[in-house]
Amino acid sequence: MLILLYFVVNQIIFVRHFLQIGRKKLMVNLSLKNLIFHHILLKQFSGIYIVEK
């Protein structure tokens, strides 16, 4: 539960950071890839968490 909370907080911080550097196209593309990766990772983790519960 605590790890899941950490992931969510991390996601919020990442999104804020992503919005700050949103003006640079190259950085946006890089961040977008990271955001998609984070989202997939979070989905997988959530799936594992639900299964374990």
pLDDT for res 4? 77
Contact of 14 with 20, CB cutoff 8 Å: no
Predicted model pTM: 0.31
Whole-angstrom Cα Rg for the chain: 13
Cβ-count burial of 51 within 10 angstroms (0-12 exposed, 13-18 middle, 19+ buried)?
exposed
What are the tens digits of pLDDT across the range 1-40? 677 778 888 888 887 776 665 556 655 666 777 777 777 7
Residue 49 reports pLDDT greater than 60: no
Q: Tokens 């961040």, residue?
A: 31
